[in-house]
Each structure stands twice: as structure tokens, then as C-alpha cells.
Amino acid sequence: MGTFALMIGALVLQVWGIFLQVRGISASEGPTILARASRFAQAPEPSSVAKERRRSIAPSLVQYVITDSPIYARGDTIKIKISAASRHVTAHAIFPFVTPQHARADASYNTSEGGIYIGYTIPNSAAPGLYEIEVYVKEIQSKVQERHTVEIEIKP
């Protein structure tokens, strides 16, 4: 054992002695108190079911979902950037501009931009107005999925 460790050990024993004196506890009762305290300080071991549940409930998969601009014109390309907590995700967006069936665009990982991107060109037939685009992010391994929305405006 090093000299530093011995000095720390001696200091801990001195502090423990002072603690016992202040509390009016005899030195012979000290080990009993330590044993009780350590028993209460130990958390019970979680069951295997609790461990599995903790593993399957992931924190948020996404840090943020943003567009490159809040306002677009027909014919512009919307770029949605997804900052995910993991690279092991897939993503897609549902664009409400095309009726009766909405358009779906899948995400790709763009290393030069440093993230997951979804690009979609607004059709010339899109009506001006406010739109909510639904973005779905799914973790590949656990199949946990999150839904996020981004709002944009299409100007005339």
C-alpha cells in the first residue's frame, strides 16, 4: 500500500473517531453502526424482468428534428435534419402535399453534413399554407419508434 493510501486511511479513522465522539457513541458500538449503515446503503439487486424492461425502454432516440428553413415556395427542396442519439436508426417523413395519398421520403445518412437527412421537393401543385410534416425515427435493434412533427409554411 502506498504512503498516500495510508495517510487517507488514517484521516478516515480520525474523522470516524470525531464523528463517534460528537454523537456520544462509544468506540465499541462503531462497527455495529457501520454494518447497519452499509446494509441500508446497498440497493437491492433488480430482478431479471426489471433489467430487461430497463434495457427495452430507451430514452429519446432523437435530440432534435429541424428543417433548413421554416418557409418554402413550390418547387423548393425541404431538407429535414435529424440528430439521433444513435447511428443505428432509420427514419422517414410523411409529406401532406400530395392528395389523396401522402408522399413518403426515407432518410439517408450524410457524412459530409454530419447527420441523418430527408430531402423532398415540394410539388408545384402544393397549395400555399401551413403544414405539419410527420417524421418517424425507429431504432433498428429494439424497434422502438418515435414520431416527431415539424411545421413549415408554403408561400404562394
Is residue 134 in a domain? yes
Please tell me whether residues 38 and 105 are part of one structural domain.
no
Please tell me whether residues 68 and 136 are part of one structural domain.
yes
* Residue 68: domain span: 62-155
Please tell me whether residues 36 and 104 are part of one structural domain.
no
Please tell me whether residues 25 and 68 are part of one structural domain.
no
Is residue 30 in a domain? yes
Please tell me whether residues 83 and 143 are part of one structural domain.
yes
Is residue 104 in a domain? yes
CATH of the domain at 127: 2.60.40.1930
**pLDDT at position 85, please?**
81
Is residue 135 in a domain? yes
Tell me the CA distances in angstroms from 104 to 62, 94, 119, 138, 149, one per residue in order: 19, 5, 10, 15, 14
Please tell me whether residues 36 and 80 are part of one structural domain.
no
Distance CA(14)–CA(26), nearest Å, equals 14
Please tell me whether residues 104 and 76 are part of one structural domain.
yes
Is residue 33 in a domain? yes
For 86-135, write each residue's pLDDT tens digit.
878 899 999 998 766 789 999 998 777 668 999 999 999 899 999 999 99
The Cβ of residue 42 has, within 10 Å, a number of other Cβ atoms equal to 8
pTM: 0.59
* pLDDT band for position 47 (cuts 50, 70, 90): very low
Please tell me whether residues 89 and 127 are part of one structural domain.
yes
Give the residue, 37 or 153, on which the prediction is more confident: 153
Please tell me whether residues 84 and 145 are part of one structural domain.
yes
Is residue 47 in a domain? no
Is residue 52 in a domain? no
Please tell me whether residues 113 and 77 are part of one structural domain.
yes
Number of domains in the chain: 2
| Rg of the chain on CA atoms, in Å | 29
DSSP annotation of 144 reads -
* pLDDT band for position 26 (cuts 50, 70, 90): low
For 59-98, write each residue's pLDDT tens digit.
588 888 999 999 999 999 999 999 888 878 899 999 998 7
Burial code (b: 16+ CB inside 10 Å, e: under 16) for 78-98 equals bebbbebeeeebbbebebebe
